[in-house]
Amino acid sequence: MPFIPHTEEELRQMLDVIGVDSIEQLFDEIPAKLRCGELQGLGSGLWEQDITRLMQDKAREDGQPLCFIGAGAYDHHIPAAVWQLASRGEYYTAYTPYQAEASQGTLQLLYEYQSMMTELMDMDVSNASLYDGASALAEAVLMAVRANRKSRSRHILVPASLHPHYRATVRTLVKNQGIELVEIPYDRSTGQTDLQALAQHTGQDLAALVVPQPNFFGVLEDVDVLTEWARANGALSIAVVNPLAMAVLHPPGEWGEQGADICCGDGQPLGAPLSSGGPYFGFLCSKQTLVRQMPGRIIGRTVDLDGKEGFALTLQAREQHIRRSKATSNICTNQGLMVTAATIHMSLMGADGLASTASRCHSNLQLLVEKLTSLGEIEPLFSGPVFHETVLRLPLEPRRVLRTLAAHNILGGYDLAGHYPELGNALLVCATENRNQDDIDKYRLKMEQVLASRRQGACATMAKFDRE
Amino acid sequence: MPFIPHTEEELRQMLDVIGVDSIEQLFDEIPAKLRCGELQGLGSGLWEQDITRLMQDKAREDGQPLCFIGAGAYDHHIPAAVWQLASRGEYYTAYTPYQAEASQGTLQLLYEYQSMMTELMDMDVSNASLYDGASALAEAVLMAVRANRKSRSRHILVPASLHPHYRATVRTLVKNQGIELVEIPYDRSTGQTDLQALAQHTGQDLAALVVPQPNFFGVLEDVDVLTEWARANGALSIAVVNPLAMAVLHPPGEWGEQGADICCGDGQPLGAPLSSGGPYFGFLCSKQTLVRQMPGRIIGRTVDLDGKEGFALTLQAREQHIRRSKATSNICTNQGLMVTAATIHMSLMGADGLASTASRCHSNLQLLVEKLTSLGEIEPLFSGPVFHETVLRLPLEPRRVLRTLAAHNILGGYDLAGHYPELGNALLVCATENRNQDDIDKYRLKMEQVLASRRQGACATMAKFDRE
Amino acid sequence: MLIFEHSRPGRRAQAQAPKSATRLEGIPAALQRKRKPRLPEVSEMQAVRHYTRLSQKNFSIDTQFYPLGSCTMKYNPRACNTLAMLPGLVNRHPLAPDSHSQGFLSAMYELQEILKEVTGMSAVSLAPMAGAQGEFAGIAMIRAYHDARGDTGRTEILVPDAAHGTNPATAVMCGYKAREIPSKADGDVDMDALEAALGPQTAGIMLTNPSTLGVFERRIKEIADRVHEAGGLLYYDGANLNAILGRVRPGDMGFDVIHMNLHKTFSTPHGGGGPGAGPVGVSKRLQPFLPVPMVGTDGHDYHWLSEEQCPQSIGRLSAFAGNAGILLRAYVYAKMLGAEGMQRVADYSTLNANYMLKRLMDAGFTAAYPERRATHEFIITLKNEARELGINAMDFAKRLLDYGIHAPTTYFPLLVPECFLIEPTETEARESLDAFIDAMIKIREEARTDAEWVRGAPYTLPVRRLDDVRAARELDLRWQAQEERA
Amino acid sequence: MLIFEHSRPGRRAQAQAPKSATRLEGIPAALQRKRKPRLPEVSEMQAVRHYTRLSQKNFSIDTQFYPLGSCTMKYNPRACNTLAMLPGLVNRHPLAPDSHSQGFLSAMYELQEILKEVTGMSAVSLAPMAGAQGEFAGIAMIRAYHDARGDTGRTEILVPDAAHGTNPATAVMCGYKAREIPSKADGDVDMDALEAALGPQTAGIMLTNPSTLGVFERRIKEIADRVHEAGGLLYYDGANLNAILGRVRPGDMGFDVIHMNLHKTFSTPHGGGGPGAGPVGVSKRLQPFLPVPMVGTDGHDYHWLSEEQCPQSIGRLSAFAGNAGILLRAYVYAKMLGAEGMQRVADYSTLNANYMLKRLMDAGFTAAYPERRATHEFIITLKNEARELGINAMDFAKRLLDYGIHAPTTYFPLLVPECFLIEPTETEARESLDAFIDAMIKIREEARTDAEWVRGAPYTLPVRRLDDVRAARELDLRWQAQEERA
Ligand SMILES: Cc1ncc(COP(=O)(O)O)c(C=O)c1O
Ligand SMILES: Cc1ncc(COP(=O)(O)O)c(C=O)c1O
């Protein structure tokens, strides 16, 4: 069902105009021996009705469990208006605004987005998006290496408390340019970046220091100290932040004496549904002085022939379609639609709304921790202040606990055993504003049962319980 | 959360302009003793997040059972584009196109709707909608009484095979004007209107005869004969049809020698979701000669000051806002949005698509009947040709069967015991194109189990089965 | 360009259905269709593009200020749409058994309760599908009440001259004669005229309060007493309920029956003309006559109430249960408002109207009732402008469109010449109100310079002023294929 | 008007969140925010109205013909959006356990299989988030391959001069030097130049076929052989896959790695600039290096494959699994097309392009490669018009907008002067193509009469031609509050 409007008659007429007998003939420049036969295994096309049924079945299969996982993707309320507007055809089916006059909708919206993002981060400039938070950090690293005039180093300090997937992504994306990521360990008691370990790099030639806030453990870093350390050591500081958190936390532009140099992160908490991990969007802001090193599109306000205000892509000389191999990045298609949603989301929430959401998430986390620790065998692992997410120590392997909870349609958190085996039975939990008291009580109750059945030591009971 | 934009400051400034101290003062013409205190029992307003959760819970509670009920509302596939377009703000939040120049979107769409509807029914004119099929029939009856110049009667012949809820609705809506509905029984073997019973009215002064197609039993009436009978007896003929069926069945404009005079029905099968019974829409078409007796809005094509084509409400002298007590009806708000969806639906489906859907429904019904009757204890009740829906005779009370099926998330049909007790264990079943072979097999399997457990006569088994 | 003009024989939105119809087993050829209806034959993209572009030709709340008096064009919260369209709700069959309906029924039951409280009535039925059908139900109940008492000599319904056209039309549909009662110069009902009209033939009176003149009928209690004494009942047209939500209740004013327009007060979509929902509330004595179905509860589960449980009911008004999906939207809206929110609606819609009225009067426009408070709406008369500048209410209306503002209701109520009935609603910001007033002043200026030019408005819309007369005289009510036209 | 200009201190979309933030327990004051960010403070309706109206200022596939070459602006089926947004799918957490992911994973697995078949490659990873990231993954795999063999002297990636800018930029991001290879006058790669460029320093070559010149590289097999002989690998830029779906497969042409642009060929939304999805397919020898995560199966259940199972992988490209929701849309699209549908896409996109080319040539416009067949796109050069009439490609482009048609890609590829790269796609009806040609002819006519006027286009859009130079010189990249600006 390839959505083709041609009638048989039109086909014939068009072939006549072209002067060929068949469509087949239009492919006559392709060497015959390269031509493939019919594609195998694809089956015949489904009508919309059938694919609807198929997808409904798949959706039902995955269920709608109660989710206490965060770890970089958060289940927030999204106002109904956001996607009803963002999926309007004029946004959804337009492309990159190369013809500015015919794209003022998208362009103005992106300019508004840049304005909002810089406000939220308290930075000077913002681009119009990158792929996601992890790849945005990689671009920020490349940008820092280009931009740091004081340093000739290709070394980047990266805290171990940064999201492991971010570290992995950055590694993939920068290693071929000879950039080296140097890991800074975290303090096993606070969960923050280990300042003593950092001090060992004092005086080295470094391109940049990455500063996550909050870090992967939900723990708040001492961002002022880290940012100042970077400055003192001639390294640029790259903030990696949760944008929703910035509604209530000290924003990167205010870190240390002069603010972070670059700041990036994932825009998912601003209106993007969880959607199995994407599409989200990466944001990237910086100081004004670094704007020409920025990757990605940037929109500027200008005037038309009549002096009327309008918006257009600008500083295109940074981009691959103009500068080719000398571009600041190879990025072309970005995450425009998600930015459309985020801009509408921020307009609807306002600063107060975002702050309220952030603080309700935080309260829910407090409540969750309180309820779970009240069971007696669970306790917070780190002493550092946390926002919105935290690590708990369980009396048994998270893997087993999570499996049982999942059987009851509860996704109980993210098991840290894979990435941080040194932490023992560590579980990263999150409770956004979408989890209510009932949900938290339900979690507590099931957890209590899991712990109880373990105390009885009865594998049989456990197994039965699993199946229930 | 009443969606009010005023800031405190604006409130004060506006009160100043008005010259009052408080909003309270603006209500000073209302006698104090009439004023109410705070409304009780409404609770405080919910945020969108909370009401979202509440409604999701309610939706989950009702589940998504496999539905084999028809009886006037049909589970058809609706192309995804239909509601994505119809719920665009410009359609969704506009009102009746009183300012034609600012409403050409809605007006042109309604003109297109009228064009499609008259094509589908093969009638001369269509209005722009009434509430639903049942109330549209009431309006058709009133219209017929006004329009029938040959008759001074207020008697309307109504077959007992017409949807019982339609009969009830018409009764409510016309009885105060002294109009009498005379019931014509159906033939117990064919399920069609009993022509001999009808013949007893030959020669009487009658305003109109109602002709359903298909009738409530899914049985096809001999519409040509009925229409001709009406004409011969000076009665107008009022067709009540399923619009989807008209894609494959003889349309009212072609019934008898000159076609039906008026035709109406429910537009639900053209893009309206089941939605617990509404909103759907009533359609109403007629011969050109009756157009000035039509109730409801009608759109006409005209030209503007520059001679450019445009669309406007027309023949408004029929309507209450102009003619008041002499209007053809009191209807004002109609079902515009549903007509918007229906127009888009018909554009996407086209005549071929509607015909294909109709015939797939019909095939599914054939399959369902085949599967169920193959169980040996179930058989079709009527011998007349059916379309898309039919009555089966069960070996036990439908009520009990349906309860057990429902416990397995199957809605097995509509029990006729309430409206047609004379039919015994009669069940009206329907299988639209949305029920696939698997669904039908599942129904058959469960039905088999119900029948088997009955044969065992074991109430206990049955009860256990119910709970499963 | 009409969708039909994009049509080509054989073109299809292929994904929507297989091309060829299968055989219609068992259906006699004579009953089958022969000629294919000439519906459009277009691709999916063509339909999407056509209806997307068409939509852009509409003014709507989502795009413009739309102060259409008596219509309460306020913001339609997007959540109401999303939540009413949740798969579990939107796919529910109307005849699904109670076992699969508790979620839906509980919402409907709660909505009944909310509306009872808001109106001060004893019972509510959600059955009517719009205001006019609510009116029908209300007057039919009045009639059923009299009939049930054997009081069959009552043949008249009194209707103020300012009433909406649906009121007299409804009276007639219920078999009554509609008798007009004049309004006084201050907008209230003429009590003497009322007195004179009352009698043993009086079945009841239909009122809205605030009235469509945009003022609150101050002697409502007296009217109620007099009508009741004469043996008649009072019907409340709830179209203007937005003005008094949580401030004063029809039940407390002495009304026996009321309909509500949920598409107004409860902000369900107007949808280019509908659908609406027009629930009716009644006092104790009319309760037995309420239309079915309604929702009842045993305190735990919910169930339908139909003719069986309500033998005196006036009956059904639709095939199923009214505009259920609209009722769901209203339910969501009501839950979001809560008690306090309801009152704020009345407060701020009244504030906005009084602010506009004051500013317009300050700017030299003429209020129809200058001594009165505006309610949630108010009337100005442009008769002076018509006389002095030669531009009438219609000209102002059309020119407003050029300023990106939908015109208010014009030429209604009929008794005020050259009138604008203006209802800003509570959801409009002050900037919108100011923009309206600025536009009015500007248009008057324009007329002073060049009245002809104003009379030629609008200039910026897809079409200029349309020829209504021609539309009604040379009826063109449907597209016809070329071959037919010729 | 910017959304910020609708803002008033204290205004809120109240329904979206309680007003006041609760205390942030346990968070030191020094880490808390002091100054509130100046986000807009608007009501819900204001936001809805603003973004609804703003949207109307866009051209888009849903409203206009949008023949932007190399971008495949075809109809985005609405079902893809609806189905990817089903609650069960859109709310799935990326780290949900396999027990709650079988529906999603099965779709992803099947999509991998479909893309393998369509491209003729041995394995596919869905990880890359757009074309350029797919390119990155591809070239990084080529590098990993050479590295794994200890073949570390290869420092160059060959790139034809017609290539998209992402190609050379990608080579550099992977630590390579990009070396340009010229095209011949007939649009094919200059074999002699290629021969001369190949050597032990050659890591590989990036090609698209059909190329961005809108022609099929006929000697592709020879090129593949030569590059392979030199020890290099072949990268296929899949941006133009729409042209050859089901007709010829990159794997069969000898390519080692390919990225696809699902937002082009598989019709996922362009979204005003993104998101996209750029899966990569590889031949056997590159398989170990594919980016993670991927989806595997034991024949019954589905599971993720990550670094653990794929130790030689180039690694992750995103925090989770790429643009999953976009992949779902592509899956729905692919399932709706089926094998036959895929081929019809190639057929009709090619038909449309050749039809337009022929008609434009007949009308006297100049094809860049008049002797060649068009593929799904083609190039005309307006250098004659520029010389003779004084209107260049940009002027034609802007004037086309006035005719309600989005301009084709202009000034790319760089080697063709004053060029239009025109890609109609298969979903456009012949009427659209004809309207484009008519507009081109008309614009040329207009230029003959009044070139100045054409140079002043557009006239009918929200703004006239914008001053790009000023935009770049006087940078205004964000709204600033009044107090800051002053
Ligand atoms: C005062 C008044 N009464 C009754 C009605 C009729 O309501 P509906 O249009 O819902 O039938 C209206 C509607 O415009 C009205 O304004
Ligand atoms: C030929 C070609 N290659 C590569 C790309 C880059 O793809 P993307 O924009 O998805 O990153 C494009 C996109 O426009 C293209 O046209």
Averaged over B308-334, what is the pLDDT? 92
CB of D44 within 8 Å of a chain C CB? The answer is yes
- Assigned domain for B360 exists: yes
Confidence of residue C484 (pLDDT cuts 50, 70, 90): low
- Given CA atoms C436, C437, C440, C441 in this order, what sign does their dihedral have? negative
Instruction: Evaluate if residue A144 carries a pLDDT over 80.
Output: yes
Q: Which value, to the nearest 10 degrees, does the dihedral of the CA atoms of residues A62, A67, A72, A76 take?
A: 100
Asked whether residue B173 falls in the same domain as residue B251, the answer is yes
Other residues' Cβ atoms within 10 Å of the Cβ of residue D90: 19
Tokens for A7? 């009638």
Q: What is the pLDDT of residue A454?
A: 83
Which of B36, B55, B303 is the closest to C247 by Cβ? B36
Same domain, B328 and B412: no
- The answer, yes or no, to whether residue C483 has pLDDT greater than 70, is no
Q: CB–CB of B99 and C407 under 8 A? A: yes
Q: What pLDDT, on the 0 to 100 scale, is given for residue B37?
A: 87
Q: Which residues of A touch D54 (CB under 8 A)?
A: 104-105, 108-109
**How far from the centroid of its chain's Cα atoms is residue C368's Cα?**
23
Residue A411 has pLDDT above 70, yes or no: yes
Confidence of residue B465 (pLDDT cuts 50, 70, 90): very low
Residue B405, chain C, CB below 8 Å: the answer is: no
User: What pLDDT is stored for residue A465 in this prediction?
Assistant: 46
A371 shares a domain with A331: no
Question: Residue B426 is part of a domain; what is its CATH number?
Answer: 3.90.1150.10
Closest CA to C478 of D416, B80, B343: B343
Number of domains in chain A: 2
pLDDT interval class at B461 (50, 70, 90):
very low
Token pair, residue D80, equals: 């893809």
Best probe of the A interface among B3, B46, B49, by most A CBs < 10 A, is B49
pLDDT band at A317 (very low <50, low <70, confident <90, very high): confident
State chain C's maximal CA–CA distance in angstroms: 76
- Do A129 and A231 fall into the same domain? yes
Indicate whether A358 and A339 sit together in one domain: no
In short, whether D71's Cβ falls inside 6 Å of ligand 2 is: yes
User: Would C285 be classed as within a structural domain?
Assistant: yes
* Count of C-beta atoms within a 10 Å radius of residue C168: 26
A279 prior amide bond cis, ω within 30: yes
Give the pLDDT score at D19.
77
Q: Give per-residue pLDDT as tens, C277-297.
A: 999 999 999 999 999 999 999
Looking at the CA of C376, name the nearest ligand. Answer: 1
Task: Report if residue B259 sits inside a domain.
Answer: yes
Q: How much of chain A exceeds pLDDT 90, in percent? A: 93
Structure confidence at residue A20 (pLDDT): 98
Structure tokens at C309: 């449980």
pLDDT-derived band of residue B463, with 50, 70 and 90 as boundaries?
Answer: very low
Task: Give the tens place of pLDDT for each residue, D318-363.
Answer: 999 999 999 999 999 999 999 999 999 999 999 999 999 999 999 9
Q: Which of D25, D344, D397 lies nearest to residue A2, judging by beta carbons?
A: D344
Assess whether B196 and B89 both reside in one domain: yes
Same domain for B334 and B239: yes
Beta-bridge partners for C303: C296
- The CA distance from C65 to A268, in Å, is 33
Task: Examine residue B214 and state whether it is found in any structural domain, yes or no.
Answer: yes
Provide, as residue numbers in chain C, all residues whose Cβ is less than 8 Å from the Cβ of B386: 26
B296 domain-assigned: yes
> Are C244 and C99 found together in one domain?
yes
Nearest CA to ligand 2 atom 9: A333
- D114 falls within a domain: yes
Total residue length of chain C: 486
Beta-carbon separation of D16 and B4 below 8 A: no
Tell whether A375 and A341 lie within a shared domain. no
What type of residue is C200? P
Condensed to tens digits (0 to 9), the pLDDT of residues B41-60 reads 899 999 999 999 999 999 99
Last residue of a domain, one of C278, C306, C337: C337
pLDDT reading at B325 higher than 90? no
Q: Are residues A327 and A411 in the same domain?
A: no
C405 DSSP 8-state letter: B
DSSP run (H or E) holding C221: helix C220-229
Closest CB to C44 among A3, A8, A49: A3
So what's the pLDDT on residue A457? 65
Average pLDDT over chain C reads 96
- The alpha-carbon gap from B77 to the nearest alpha carbon of chain A, in Å, equals 6
The reply to whether C233 and C347 lie within a common domain is no
**Distances in whole angstroms, Cα of residue A293 to Cα of each of A154, A315, A370:** 16, 10, 46
Q: Is C312 on the interface with B (CB under 8 A)?
A: no
Give dist(CA D171, CA D232) in Å, integer.
Answer: 14
Q: List the beta strands (DSSP E) in A185-321.
A: 208-213, 236-241, 262-266, 282-286, 298-303, 309-314
- Beta strands B389-393 and B379-380: pairing type? antiparallel
Rounded CA separation A229/B327 (Å) = 83
* B354 and B233 in a common domain: no
User: Same structural domain for residues D348 and D330?
Assistant: no
Instruction: Indicate the burial class of B224 (C-beta count within 10 angstroms; 0-12, 13-18, 19 or more).
Output: middle
Specify if A50 maps to a domain.
no
Domain closes at, from A346, A370, A400: A346
Q: Is B115 touching C (CB cutoff 8 A)?
A: yes
- Do D95 and D239 lie in one domain? The reply is yes
Query: For residue A290, what pLDDT band results from cuts at 50, 70 and 90?
Result: very high
**Number of domain units in chain D:** 3
Last residue in a domain, options C337, C372, C392: C337
Q: Residues enclosing ligand 1, CB less than 6 A?
A: B 332-333; C 70-71, 130-132, 164, 166, 208, 212, 237, 239, 261, 276, 278
**pLDDT-derived band at C21, boundaries 50, 70, 90:** low
- By the 8 A CB rule, do A284 and A140 touch? yes
Q: Which residues pair with B103 in a beta bridge?
A: C58
> 3-class DSSP state for residue C439?
helix
Quick check: CB of D128 below 6 Å from ligand 2? no
The DSSP line for A135-193 is HHHHHHHHHHHHH-TT----EEEEETTS-HHHHHHHHHHHGGGT-EEEEEPBPTTT-SB
C274 Cα: distance to centroid of ligand 1 (angstroms): 11
Instruction: Say whether residue B181 is in contact with chain C using an 8 A CB cutoff.
Output: no
Classify residue D24: in a domain, yes or no.
no
From A305, A321, A346, give the residue that closes a domain: A346
Q: First-to-last CA distance in chain B?
A: 44
ipTM of this complex: 0.97
Q: What percent of chain C has pLDDT over 90?
A: 97
> So what's the pLDDT on residue B105?
98
Residue C73 placed within a domain: no
pLDDT in the model for residue B457 = 65
CA C248, CA C240: separation in Å to the nearest integer? Answer: 12
Quick one: tokens of D295? 């989806």
Rounded to the nearest angstrom, the distance between the alpha carbon of A237 and the centre of ligand 2 is: 32
Instruction: Tell whether D61 is covered by a domain.
Output: no
Domain extent at residue C365: 340-471
Residues D87, D2 within the same domain: no
Considering only CB atoms, which chain C residues are within 8 Å of A5? 8, 11, 42-43, 45-46
**Same domain, residue pair C3 and C46:** yes
**Within-domain flag for A32:** no
Quickly list DSSP for A365-414. Answer: HHHHHHHHHTTSS-EES--S-BSSEEEEE-SS-HHHHHHHHHHTTEE--E
Average pLDDT on A78-95 reads: 98
Count Cβ–Cβ pairs < 8 Å, chain B vs chain D: 52
Beta carbons of A276 and D325 less than 8 Å apart:
yes
- Euclidean distance between CA atoms D381 and A119, whole angstroms: 45
Q: Count other C-beta atoms under 10 Å from residue C15's C-beta.
A: 28
CB D234 within 8 A of CB D228: yes
- Judged by DSSP in three states, C58 sits in strand
Residue A141 pLDDT class (50, 70, 90 cuts): very high
C260 with C348, same domain? no
Cβ-in-10-Å burial (0-12, 13-18, 19+) of D252 comes to middle
- Divide the 486 residues of chain D into consecutive groups of 10 and give the mean pLDDT of each group: 96 88 87 96 98 98 97 97 95 97 98 98 98 98 98 96 94 96 95 97 96 95 96 96 96 96 97 97 98 97 96 98 97 97 97 98 98 97 97 98 98 94 98 98 98 97 96 95 62
- How many C-beta atoms lie closer than 10 Å to residue B431's C-beta? 29
Residue of B1, B7, B84 lying closest to D10 (CB–CB):
B7
> What's the number of CA atoms in the CB half-sphere (13 Å) around residue A29?
21
Q: What is the mean pLDDT of residues A189-218?
A: 97
In this structure, what CATH number is given to the domain that contains residue D238? 3.40.640.10
pTM of the model: 0.97
User: What CATH number does residue B286 fall under?
Assistant: 3.40.640.10
Report CA A111 to chain centroid distance, whole Å. 21
pLDDT of residue B324: 86
Cβ distance D45 to C15 less than 8 Å, yes or no, reads no
| Domain termination site, one of C295, C321, C337 | C337
Both C280 and C135 in a single domain? yes
Question: Quick one: D8 and D155 in the same domain?
Answer: no
Answer yes or no: do B320 and B359 share one domain.
Answer: no
Residue B11 falls within a domain, yes or no? Answer: no
Token pair 């339909």 is found at: C47
In a shared domain, residues C327 and C354: no
* A314, A346, A378 - which closes a domain: A346
Count how many Cα atoms sit within 13 Å of the Cα of residue C75 in the half-sphere of its side chain: 25
Q: How far is B220 from chain D (nearest CA, A)?
A: 35
Task: Establish if C366 belongs to a structural domain.
Answer: yes
D25 shares contact with chain A (CB less than 8 Å): yes
The helix (H) or strand (E) run that includes residue A228 is helix A223-232
**H/E run at residue D349:** helix D324-362
Give partners of D (≥3 CB pairs < 8 A). A, B, C
Domain shared by C103 and C252, yes or no: yes
In a domain, D66, yes or no: no
- Whether residues C184 and C313 share a domain: the answer is yes
Contacts of C2 in chain B (CB under 8 A): 108, 111-112, 115
Q: Range of A417's domain?
A: 66-73+350-467
Chain D residues whose CB is inside 8 A of the C83 CB are: none
Asked if D171 and D206 count as a contact pair (C-beta separation under 8 A), the reply is: yes
D27 in a structural domain: no
Both A137 and A270 in one domain: the answer is yes
